[in-house]
Structure 1
Amino acid sequence: MILLKNATRLMPSNKVEGCDILIEDKKIKAISPSIPEDEAQIIDCGGKMLFPGFIDVHIHLREPGGEHKETIRTGTQAAARGGFTTVCSMPNTNPVPDKAETISGLLDKIHQDAVVRVLPYAAITKGLKGEELTPIQDLANNGIVAFTDDGVGVQTADYMLRAMKKAAACGKPIVAHCEDNSIVYEGVVHDGEVSGRLQLPGIPSLAESVQIARDVLLAEASGCHYHVCHVSTKESVRVIRDAKKAGINVTAEVTPHHLLLNETAIIEDNANFKMNPPLRAKEDQKALLEGLLDGTIDFIATDHAPHAEDEKALGFRKAPFGIVGLETAFSLLNTYLVKTNKITLNQLSEWLTRKPADVFGLPYGRLEEGAIADLTLVDLEKEFFIDKHSFYSKGKNTPFHDWKVSGEPVLTIAEGKIVYEGDLHE
């Protein structure tokens, strides 16, 4: 048993209240203003804020095949440090999880090495090549959370429609990285101000939005739950908003970096600002926050994408896309959105916990009696500078190094077990 004393929790009204929480048999047994100190392990929370464990439905663990970038162990340690207790791992690994045997081996490795809950995706097409569908019904019965070819868009409507019909039949979402390769034009940044200034090939907004427009109509025809990864453009927000108004079962996510940065942040050829989709224009950044606030975009996901330092040193033209995000997400969003009064702390909590759980039908993201004991304690007043050299992740590829932030996860509990403990009593 663990007894958390002197914690603070958020109430739906945005008010806060003090509480003690008793954890037993992986669940929250009791929440009360005061719980007697029996034989439990006592942790004095010192008035710090307790949240349900954060959920990130879009991360890259790289294992198997990319262990020099990240492993299941290091990636989940980074997740725990960032306050995340549930993460969903993308399938662009080697081998690709596109058959039952590969999924089985991956689940064994997760059970062996993960320090938080990992729910893996399976691929939509074999080898992520877009040429042949995976055995979707078979894979759905083997412990996967959903289907995606993340990293590449499914290029033909035929394959996407057939995949959606099969996924709908077995009650699993199709999760899409939306990118029409015919109009990407080998771009490495947004096709806008920065591409002209740095003389780099640009990726037009249409490459994303036209594929979303295609897919929402396919989702309507198939009855599939269709989820859009890392929305980045104002046109995409408009298409998703219209689709929701039409009653189509579409949901969407946005990353912290697309909420906090736009293309003007790219001053020089620094590939720690290279991600896919790229940082867009100021008006796109504004539309993303508006879409999150009005419910068009359902929640936040990091798209944690670690790479080796020598790979990122190659510059925009040659470096791989992606940045890390698990260890910085809460602090950045709390500092630059909550403390600037753009959103409330309650909204941030919902977008990192209950909303992703509800969208994907997961029994997590709740701070209530009887719930699974996934909990994150945050020191909201702690101020510090982000230091990429201190990351638990193997990936140090962040555009946020040396940013001053406030609000640090100091204790993470997953299924009643302490998986990360920071400076609780500073």
Structure 2
Amino acid sequence: MLIIKNVRILDPASATDMTGDISIENGKIKTIGSVKAGKEDQILDGSGLIAAPGLVDTHVHFRDPGLTYKEDIYTGAHAAAAGGFTSVVCMANTKPVGDNVDTVSYVVEKGKKTNIHVYTTAAVTKSFDGKNLTDFQALLQAGAIGFTDDGIPIKDAGTVKAAMEMAAALDVPISLHEEDPELIVSPGVNQGKVSEKLHYGGAPAKSEYEMVRRDCELALQTRARTVIQHISSAESVEAVRQCWKKGGRIYGEVTPQHFSATEDLVLEKGALARVNPPLRTETDRQAIIEGLKDGTLNIIATDHAPHSREEKAKDLKDAPSGMIGLETSLALGITNLVKTGELELMDLLEKMTINPAMLYHLNAGRLTEGGPADLVLFDPEKKWVVEEQFYSKASNSPFIGMELTGQVQYTICGGKVIFER
């Protein structure tokens, strides 16, 4: 039996905040409270640490199949474990696209061979064409747990509505990447002072929020469980807020980069800070934080998007958009939300554990006796500098060199210690 002694236990699902012990046996949590250790028990000293449910990330790109020089399911899982994540949901923009049973089954089966829980979505439309819906039922039977064309916006409102109706009938989430390409001059950088200084066309906030407004209305009409992905603008936050107030089954997703940084980071980090949708203004960042505080934005997900060093070394206009995020996510939240007084630690963890788990009906995101022994143990006060070496294959993070607070010390999945610092 593994016993974690003298640890602060935080479980948002049950509002538990206590100091005590946790015993683990046969992959399950046996006892939460006070545990007397036997001679043969393995003891882990949790003094000064916080034990929370293993983190859940509903938006990752593991690039497998087809683009495994960037990342693969095994390395992605290792990066997740290093970041405290025990459950992740992969996006469908692989090569080939996850629009067929074979590709979805491949990800599901390979994910089972990792040390965490790897789930996958499937594509909404065939080959991401934005017009022809995939066979939702067949893809669910193959193991998909939701649908998204993430990376590509679905321009046609009729297609979105039909997809939402199907998702609602099957009671599965549909997640939407909201950027109207017709309004974008150049992707990855906010259209504003920074794009002007760099003589780079940029992507205006309007390209996002106009689609968000449209899809919030469709979500109200269809009653689909709808995720608005990686929200970046103040207007988008407000659109989701109003949809939620009207009773929409809406989930506002935000990434650590969008609550931690602004477009100014592009001036310092160049293509490493190029991401779709782009980092925007301080006004937008503050609106995102307000959305986190009032519950409009109820899920924090990384949009972990690995690229090779050679790809990100290209000029801003030629480099791909995206950054890795699994290994810095919790620390960015502690540093930029908790330590600044914007959120309580329990609130941050809620958006990284039980909320994303409930979205996909996962048996995760909570600490309960008899439940799965999936935990993260972290030091909330530990200061560390982000280095260029990651467990991910990729190192495309604009946060390299920055000092953050809060560091994962252990990750436990299925009762086994799968990461130890």
Normalised-by-shorter TM-score class: over 0.9
Q: Which residue of 2 aligns with 1:247?
A: 247
Q: Which residue of 1 aligns with 2:152?
A: 152
Q: Which residue of 1 aligns with 2:215?
A: 215
Q: Which residue of 1 aligns with 2:409?
A: 410
Q: Which residue of 1 aligns with 2:175?
A: 175
Matches of 1:341 and 1:177 in 2, distance apart? 30
Q: In the alignment, is the contact (CA less than 8 A) between 1:225 and 1:250 conserved in 2?
A: yes
Secondary structure in 2 matching 1:298: strand
Q: Which residue of 2 aligns with 1:102?
A: 103
Matches of 1:104 and 1:135 in 2, distance apart? 14
Shift, 1:65, TM fit: 0.7
Cα gap change, 1:16 to 1:106, in 2 (>3 Å) = closer
Matches within 5 A, 1:298-313: 298-313=298-313
> How far does the alpha carbon of each residue in 1:91-133 deviate from its partner, in whole angstroms, 9 at most, with x for none?
1111111111221222222223x22111101000111121311
Q: Which residue of 2 aligns with 1:345?
A: 345
Shift, 1:193, TM fit: 1.0
Q: In the alignment, is the contact (CA less than 8 A) between 1:269 and 1:315 conserved in 2?
A: no
Q: In the alignment, is the contact (CA less than 8 A) between 1:18 and 1:33 conserved in 2?
A: no
Secondary structure in 2 matching 1:363: coil
Q: In the alignment, is the contact (CA less than 8 A) between 1:187 and 1:200 conserved in 2?
A: no
Q: Which residue of 2 aligns with 1:59?
A: 60
Q: Which residue of 1 aligns with 2:332?
A: 332
Amino acid at match of 2:394: G
Q: Which residue of 2 aligns with 1:25?
A: 26
Q: Which moved more, 1:164-173 or 1:316-325?
A: 164-173
Q: In the alignment, is the contact (CA less than 8 A) between 1:232 and 1:254 conserved in 2?
A: yes
Amino acid at match of 1:204: P
Q: In the alignment, is the contact (CA less than 8 A) between 1:258 and 1:279 conserved in 2?
A: yes
Q: Which residue of 1 aligns with 2:70?
A: 69
Q: Which moved more, 1:4-13 or 1:313-322?
A: 4-13
Matches of 2:382 and 2:330 in 1, distance apart? 12
Amino acid at match of 1:25: N
Q: Which residue of 1 aligns with 2:40?
A: 39
Secondary structure in 2 matching 1:61: coil
Shift, 1:265, TM fit: 2.4
Q: In the alignment, is the contact (CA less than 8 A) between 1:137 and 1:167 conserved in 2?
A: no
How many residues in Structure 1 have an aligned counterpart in Structure 2? 420
Secondary structure in 2 matching 1:46: coil
Amino acid at match of 1:387: E
Cα gap change, 1:188 to 1:11, in 2 (>3 Å) = closer
Matches of 1:303 and 1:176 in 2, distance apart? 13
Matches of 2:268 and 2:357 in 1, distance apart? 38
Amino acid at match of 2:93: N
> How far does the alpha carbon of each residue in 1:351-372 deviate from its partner, in whole angstroms, 9 at most, with x for none?
1111111222222111121221
Matches of 1:169 and 1:152 in 2, distance apart? 24
Matches of 1:382 and 1:349 in 2, distance apart? 17
Shift, 1:218, TM fit: 1.6
Shift, 1:4, TM fit: 1.4
Amino acid at match of 2:28: K
Matches of 2:34 and 2:385 in 1, distance apart? 34
Shift, 1:21, TM fit: 0.8
Amino acid at match of 1:29: K
> How far does the alpha carbon of each residue in 1:322-363 deviate from its partner, in whole angstroms, 9 at most, with x for none?
001100111122122211212111111111111111222222
Q: In the alignment, is the contact (CA less than 8 A) between 1:137 and 1:166 conserved in 2?
A: no
Unaligned runs of 5+ in 1: none
Q: In the alignment, is the contact (CA less than 8 A) between 1:388 and 1:396 conserved in 2?
A: yes
Secondary structure in 2 matching 1:284: helix
Cα gap change, 1:11 to 1:274, in 2 (>3 Å) = closer
Report the TM-score, using the length of structure 1 for normalisation: 0.95
Q: Which residue of 2 aligns with 1:50?
A: 51
Cα gap change, 1:100 to 1:15, in 2 (>3 Å) = closer
Q: In the alignment, is the contact (CA less than 8 A) between 2:189 and 2:279 conserved in 1?
A: yes
Secondary structure in 1 matching 2:40: coil
Shift, 1:53, TM fit: 0.4
Matches of 2:341 and 2:212 in 1, distance apart? 31
Secondary structure in 2 matching 1:197: helix
Matches of 2:63 and 2:239 in 1, distance apart? 32
Cα gap change, 1:83 to 1:185, in 2 (>3 Å) = same
Matches of 1:11 and 1:251 in 2, distance apart? 21
- The percentage of counterpart residues that share the same residue type is 41
Q: Which residue of 1 aligns with 2:126?
A: 126
Matches of 2:186 and 2:94 in 1, distance apart? 22
Matches of 2:336 and 2:268 in 1, distance apart? 23
Q: Which residue of 2 aligns with 1:400?
A: 399
Q: Which residue of 2 aligns with 1:93?
A: 94
Aligned-residue CA RMSD (Å) = 1.6
Cα gap change, 1:129 to 1:416, in 2 (>3 Å) = same
Secondary structure in 2 matching 1:388: coil
Q: In the alignment, is the contact (CA less than 8 A) between 1:271 and 1:319 conserved in 2?
A: yes
Amino acid at match of 2:418: V
> How far does the alpha carbon of each residue in 1:161-183 deviate from its partner, in whole angstroms, 9 at most, with x for none?
11111111111111001111211
> How far does the alpha carbon of each residue in 1:289-336 deviate from its partner, in whole angstroms, 9 at most, with x for none?
001101111121111101000000112100000001100111122122
Shift, 1:278, TM fit: 0.3
Shift, 1:225, TM fit: 0.8
Matches of 2:137 and 2:382 in 1, distance apart? 47
Q: In the alignment, is the contact (CA less than 8 A) between 2:188 and 2:277 conserved in 1?
A: no
Q: Which residue of 2 aligns with 1:111?
A: 112
> How far does the alpha carbon of each residue in 1:380-406 deviate from its partner, in whole angstroms, 9 at most, with x for none?
2322111022x0001101110111112
Shift, 1:33, TM fit: 2.6
Q: In the alignment, is the contact (CA less than 8 A) between 2:237 and 2:288 conserved in 1?
A: yes
Matches of 2:15 and 2:98 in 1, distance apart? 42
Amino acid at match of 2:388: K
